[in-house]
Every structure is written in structure tokens, then in C-alpha cells.
Amino acid sequence: RCAELQIQLTEAVSTMAGQKELIAKLEHDLSTIQTLSTVHRPDAEGAAVPSLEKIPEPIKEATALFYGHPPSPGASFPEGQVDSLLSIISSQRERFRARNQELEGENRMMQHTVHALQSELDNLRADNIKLYEKIKFLQSYPGRGGSRDDTEQRYSSQYEERLDPFSSFSRKERQRKYLSLSPWDKATLSM
């Protein structure tokens, strides 16, 4: 039992040492990449870069690998470094994917809210027209004063339009034609 624990301890120590080396290398690479921001950039794209030696080695190697060019003979990526770069890029991609899904969910919720508010607005308009109809009915009794305010004037045109037989016939014909369309035509029309 003691021998097993001793083996596990030595494995843990060696793993920790390897991780410390990788952390130190990553910190070194990050510091060299941060020095890139101090490199003078040319005014125009494609202009000659007078100080190409200031670009850090990891950037040169990664660019060469990205474009499929073999890296310079003196510089080659160790297998661990390629794996670490790949894991960094993969984790970044996963973060972007999660954020994208989160934003798509928010977008769907906003669209649902907009549709709910639109249907509520349509219902309120219909209710207002019905209320105007009742006002008009009550005003038709003799002896009632004919004072009209802005609210009545706003809904009077919608009320009259609803009573217009030609517009209601036109609406019914459009509905009939729409119902006779194929699903593909309905989708195209709605788009």
C-alpha cells in the first residue's frame, strides 16, 4: 500500500513539474505576443515591414502553420505546444458557441415578446372599435349632445371602414384566396 502511494506521489510530482513548465512557457509566449502590440505597424496594408525581426517567434510559427508553409528550419513546434494551442483555440470556440446560443435564445424570447405585444395591440384596437360602436349607439338616442373628442374621431374612421360592405367583401375575398394557396405559396407570400 505504501509503495502504491509512493508511485502515485512521484507521478503527481512529475505531472506538477510538467504543468509548471507549460505554464512558464505559456507566460513567456504571452509576454512575447504582448510585445507585438509595441511593434510599429505600417500605414498601408502590404507595405514593406522594415523590422520583421521584432515579430515574436510563436507568431511566425503559427502563421506559417496556418498558411500551410513549413516553418523555418530552425523553428519547429513541439507536439505539446501544438496541442496547447489547439486546446486554447478549441476552448475559445466553445465559449463563442455558448455565447452565440445564449444570444439566439434571447433573440427568440424577444421575438416571442414582440408577437405577444402585437397580438395584444390588435386586441386592444378591436376593443376600442367595439367601444366606439357602443358610444355611437348611445349617441343615436334623441336629446343626446354631439360633443366629440379626439378618441372618438380616431376610431370613427376604423369603425366606418369595418362597416363598409366593399372593404369587408374585399377582405373576405383576400382571405378566401389566401386559404386556397398551397403551403409553399403561403410561405413565399409571408416572406
Q: How do residues 127-177 score in pLDDT, each as one tens digit?
A: 888 888 888 888 787 765 555 667 777 777 777 777 777 777 788 888 888
**168 domain-assigned:** yes
| Residue 91, all three cell numbers | 476552448
**101 domain-assigned:** yes
Q: For residue 182, give its domain range.
A: 151-190
Contact 39, 51 (CB under 8 A): yes
Q: How confident is the model at residue 110 (pLDDT cuts 50, 70, 90)?
A: very high
**181 domain-assigned:** yes
Given a cut of 60, whether residue 73 has pLDDT beyond it is no
**116 domain-assigned:** yes
**182 domain-assigned:** yes
**4 domain-assigned:** no
**70 domain-assigned:** no
Q: How far is CA 77 from CA 52, 65, 74, in A?
A: 20, 9, 10
Q: Which residues of 40-74 are buried (b: 16+ CB within 10 A; e: fewer)?
A: eeeeeeeeeeeeeeebbebeebbeeeeeeeeeeee
pTM: 0.35
Structural domains of the chain, count: 2
Given a cut of 90, whether residue 57 has pLDDT beyond it is no
